[in-house]
């Protein structure tokens, strides 16, 4: 017998909402029944595109009126906490966009609120679901390279990110929250938890409020040293591979590297093996964000598994550890000091 589809509602109708909804519709077993946005015209436009029957401008009214199995929050980070708490009060499971919160204390409050209400809480952290990174993880876990001891994760691009997301210019905290939330989560995904970190930031663009370049050195509990380089400096470096994350890992028995165009090079004493792990192509994905948009689908499939009672990777509890790294990076840069993370 075919299982009933999980009914969900969406809060937010901005830039990413169309891709989040398209991703959900690639995952069988869900149905969006309502959308809420403070600007009704935006909600109505998105509802028409995805054949969503009901539109709201009041999230409380939507949560009270609709019989839903979960809510997907796709709004600005400053509103996440209020909407997560609202859903928890209605005993509705939550899926939330990253970054989770404006600071670590708020992130903890969100997780604790859902825990107290016994409400499942997931973060739509899709970066770790990119196909080259999943294959890289598989290679590391196979142990064919022995013990990793040093890694570099680079997301350096001249891509004009402010053109289609102009609100990013006004963020007091920019690249560490917007991009660091992704790349630091990948570092955890690949190498486990960090014992300490040191961070330096830069502001290259004029007319922006936050930092647009950062370097973080992580000392992992697994004894791997991870260097994370991120920049939207606009200097046209590596524009052709945006938004790919390039990775180089050194291990006792060889190395593995993620190259542009989704190539993975695994090198041991017997030579170098090259394979390509291109993302699945979807008609709704922006070609400029192909690897990012395609990773939304397996992430949401994993979250659906969690909503149905299974174990999902990107829970609120798990993403709280990524949030700790993000805000510890700001602390380190401000103090110009190593920040210990071990409890």
pLDDT tens-digit map of 234-270? 776 655 678 899 999 999 999 999 999 999 999 999 9
- Tokens representing residue 88 in the block: 């928890």
Yes or no: say if 100 and 74 are a contact pair by the CB < 8 Å rule.
no
Rg (CA), the chain: 20
**Which tens digits make up the pLDDT trace of 44-80?**
999 999 999 999 999 999 999 999 999 999 999 999 9
In the chain, domain spans: 6-123, 127-284+315-340
**Which tens digits make up the pLDDT trace of 140-169?**
999 999 999 999 999 988 777 888 778 888
Q: Are strands 6-11 and 70-73 parallel, antiparallel or unpaired?
A: parallel
- Tokens representing residue 19 in the block: 């891709």
Would you say the CATH fold of 127-284+315-340 matches that of 6-123? no
The CATH fold of domain 6-123: Rossmann fold (3.40.50)
Backbone angles phi, psi at 80, to 5 degrees: -60, -50
Q: How would residue 170 be classed by pLDDT, with cut points 50, 70 and 90? A: confident
Domain 127-284+315-340 grouped into CATH 3.40.50.970:
no
CA dist 60 and 248 (Å) reads 47
- Tokens representing residue 3 in the block: 């299982």
User: Does the N-terminal peptide bond of residue 243 adopt cis geometry, omega within 30 degrees of 0?
Assistant: yes
N residues, the chain: 343
Can you give the pTM of this predicted structure? 0.95
Q: Are strands 213-220 and 225-231 parallel, antiparallel or unpaired?
A: antiparallel
- Answer whether residue 113 shows pLDDT above 60: yes
Within 10 Å of residue 38's Cβ, how many Cβ atoms?
Answer: 15
CA dist 249 and 227 (Å) reads 10
Amino acid 240: pLDDT: 61
- % of the chain with per-residue pLDDT over 90: 87
């Amino acid at each position: 017998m075919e299982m009933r589809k999980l009914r969900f509602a969406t809060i937010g109708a901005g830039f990413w909402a169309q891709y989040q909804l398209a991703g959900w519709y690639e995952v069988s077993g869900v149905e969006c029944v309502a959308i809420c946005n403070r600007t009704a015209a935006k909600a109505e436009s998105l509802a028409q595109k995805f054949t969503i029957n009901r539109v709201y401008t009041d999230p409380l009214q939507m949560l009270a009126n609709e019989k839903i199995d979960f809510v997907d929050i796709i709004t600005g980070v400053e509103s996440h906490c209020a909407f997560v708490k609202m859903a928890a009060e209605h005993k509705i499971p939550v899926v939330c966009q990253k970054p989770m919160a404006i600071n670590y204390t708020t992130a903890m409050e969100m997780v604790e609120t859902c825990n107290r209400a016994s409400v499942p809480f997931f973060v739509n952290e899709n970066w770790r679901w990119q196909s080259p990174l999943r294959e890289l993880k598989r290679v590391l876990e196979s142990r064919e390279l022995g013990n990793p001891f040093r890694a570099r994760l680079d997301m350096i691009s001249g891509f004009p990110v402010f053109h289609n997301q102009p609100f990013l210019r006004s963020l007091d905290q920019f690249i560490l929250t917007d991009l660091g939330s992704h790349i630091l989560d990948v570092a955890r995904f690949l190498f486990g938890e960090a014992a300490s970190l040191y961070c330096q930031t830069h502001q290259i663009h004029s007319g922006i409020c936050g930092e647009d370049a950062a370097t973080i050195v992580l000392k992992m509990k697994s004894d791997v040293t991870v260097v994370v380089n991120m920049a939207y400096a606009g200097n046209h470096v590596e524009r052709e591979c945006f938004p790919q994350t390039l990775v180089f890992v050194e291990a006792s028995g060889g190395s593995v590297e993620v190259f542009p165009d989704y190539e993975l090079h695994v090198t041991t004493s017997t030579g170098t093996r090259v394979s390509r792990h291109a993302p699945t192509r979807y008609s709704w994905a922006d070609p400029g964000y192909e690897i990012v948009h395609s990773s939304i689908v397996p992430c949401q499939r994993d979250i659906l598994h969690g909503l149905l009672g299974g174990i999902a990777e990107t829970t609120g509890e798990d993403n709280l550890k990524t949030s700790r790294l993000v805000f510890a990076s700001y602390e380190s840069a401000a103090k110009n000091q190593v920040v210990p993370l071990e409890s």
